[in-house]
């Protein structure tokens, strides 16, 4: 997987030497092995940012039953909160309906809500570098940037200034990487893929671009070749508390039609370099998560290591062909169900049936 986050962080900060080590370690990938057990270990997205910018509020909204303490004071979070999040996917509903499945199981990723970082964190300021080590354990970073004005909510630097906030965070990540320990383990924070999350006031939700802070983050994100998602953590957390039937009315009153969480979760999933394939039958339709570029036996190994070891063939049909045919049997009749061997690279949305021998 391409790990190019130095590239994501550097243009605004111009620390020229870092590009060298980005290039040198580029081949490093935690997914290069075929071991399925590593996959399930490697789907973590860390929520990072200055203190009191809305990280825990966002975490609670995104993680069903999330119980991270979110409150209006800096360094509210100390120990990281971890939660599993289902990846919303319309295709799962369609396949499940066609196969008359008893249940459907979505793909999931893990979100980690991390303590706030301040300038000098890499030197022990604030909650110090212990918290940078929590960032080291995640595979991608969601950097929450405060774009809402609210005099009642303390900003650690006294004013809303997304550019300066982003520079503080990115510089701490870079300083932390320059320590010998980090280099030794080749586990550089600046090589992790990153999305900027502009946390806006509810009044800006309908048209986030009208907010000059958001425009500033947009410019920066685009300079750094990173994605940007605008969201109101406050609104999302209030929404998650409402009964489902009242949610659309609340969203309507803010001038938007749907929650921004689905978008954020899907963007995070893509950022992690993940792909989905499906198994679909009467018992269940299930979305399985693999790393881009995995072969059919490796993908089978995500279900069970026996499937990988005893892999014979995979019967495969693309999602679109499956839907057009209506079932696996009909796809076979139409000749769109292919029989693939061990070198087949699984494609996004493939519906698969594995033949194996143990
Ligand atoms: N979009 C928003 N609009 C208005 N208020 C918000 C918004 N997002 C978060 N808040 C408020 O900001 C305060 C801080 O939120 P939260 O505790 O989530 O921050 P945090 O980044 O997790 O802080 P810490 O680093 O201290 O753990 C809370 O009072 C929360 O309600
Ligand atoms: Mg917090």
pLDDT digits (tens, 9 = 90+) for 10-23: 333 333 333 222 22
Testing ligand 1's pocket by substitution, the residue of 115, 211, 233 carrying the most ligand atoms inside 8 A of its CB is 233
What's the pLDDT at 135? 87
Nearest by Cα to 80 from 101, 96, 56: 56
Report the percentage of the chain scoring pLDDT > 90: 57
What's the pLDDT at 4? 35
Tell me the domain boundaries of the chain. Answer: 44-88+106-272, 293-356
Q: Ligand 1 in contact with 69 (CB < 6 A)?
A: no
pLDDT digits (tens, 9 = 90+) for 265-294: 989 988 888 899 999 999 999 999 998 899
Ligand 2 ion local residues (Cβ < 5 A): 55-56, 76-77
Q: Ligand 1 in contact with 53 (CB < 6 A)?
A: yes
What's the pLDDT at 40? 42
Which residue intervals of the chain are DSSP H helices? Answer: 5-9, 18-24, 36-41, 55-62, 90-98, 130-136, 162-178, 180-185, 212-223, 233-241, 244-253, 261-271, 296-303, 305-309, 319-325, 328-334
Nearest by Cα to 319 from 356, 274, 276: 276
What's the pLDDT at 6? 34
Ligand 2 mean position, distance from CA 77 (Å): 4
Q: Ligand 1 in contact with 147 (CB < 6 A)?
A: no
What's the pLDDT at 181? 67
**Regions of the chain where pLDDT drops below 50:** 1-42
What's the pLDDT at 35? 36
What's the pLDDT at 134? 87
- Architecture field, domain 293-356: Roll (3.10)
Testing ligand 1's pocket by substitution, the residue of 83, 119, 234 carrying the most ligand atoms inside 8 A of its CB is 234
What's the pLDDT at 133? 81
Prediction ipTM score: 0.99
CATH fold group of domain 44-88+106-272: Rossmann fold (3.40.50)
Q: Ligand 1 in contact with 211 (CB < 6 A)?
A: no
What's the pLDDT at 258? 86
54 in a labelled binding site: yes
The pTM (predicted TM-score) of the whole model is 0.81
Ligand 2 mean position, distance from CA 175 (Å): 23
Q: How far apart are CA 350 and CA 43, in angstroms?
A: 20
């Amino acid at each position: 997987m391409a790990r190019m986050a130095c590239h994501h962080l550097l243009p605004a900060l111009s620390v020229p030497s870092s590009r060298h080590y980005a290039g040198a370690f580029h081949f490093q990938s935690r997914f290069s092995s075929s071991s399925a057990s590593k996959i399930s270990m490697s789907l973590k997205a860390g929520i990072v940012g200055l203190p009191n910018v809305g990280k825990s509020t966002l975490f609670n909204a995104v993680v069903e039953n999330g119980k991270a303490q979110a409150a209006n004071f800096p360094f509210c979070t100390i120990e990281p909160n971890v939660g599993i999040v289902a990846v919303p996917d319309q295709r799962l509903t369609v396949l499940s309906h066609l196969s008359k499945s008893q249940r459907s199981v979505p793909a999931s990723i893990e979100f980690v809500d991390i303590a706030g970082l301040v300038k000098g964190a890499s030197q022990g300021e604030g909650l110090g570098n212990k918290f940078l080590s929590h960032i080291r354990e995640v595979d991608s970073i969601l950097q929450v940037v405060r774009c809402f004005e609210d005099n009642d909510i303390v900003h650690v630097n006294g004013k809303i200034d997304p550019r300066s906030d982003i520079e503080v965070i990115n510089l701490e990540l870079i300083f932390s990487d320059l320590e010998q320990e980090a280099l030794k383990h080749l586990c550089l924070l600046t090589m992790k893929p990153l999305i900027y999350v502009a946390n806006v006031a509810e009044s800006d939700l309908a048209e986030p671009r009208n907010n000059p802070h958001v425009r500033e983050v947009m410019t920066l994100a685009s300079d750094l070749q990173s994605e940007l998602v605008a969201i109101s953590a406050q609104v999302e957390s209030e929404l998650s508390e409402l009964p489902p039937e009242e949610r659309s009315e609340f969203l309507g009153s803010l001038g938007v039609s749907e929650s921004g969480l689905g978008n954020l979760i899907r963007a995070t999933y893509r950022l992690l370099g993940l792909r989905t394939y499906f198994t679909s039958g009467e018992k269940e339709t299930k979305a399985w998560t693999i790393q881009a570029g995995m072969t059919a036996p490796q993908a089978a190994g995500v279900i069970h290591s026996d499937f990988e070891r005893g892999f014979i063939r995979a019967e495969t049909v693309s999602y679109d062909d499956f839907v057009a045919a209506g079932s696996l049997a009909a796809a076979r009749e139409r000749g769109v169900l292919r029989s693939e061997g061990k070198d087949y690279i699984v494609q996004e949305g493939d519906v698969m049936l594995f033949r194996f021998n143990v």
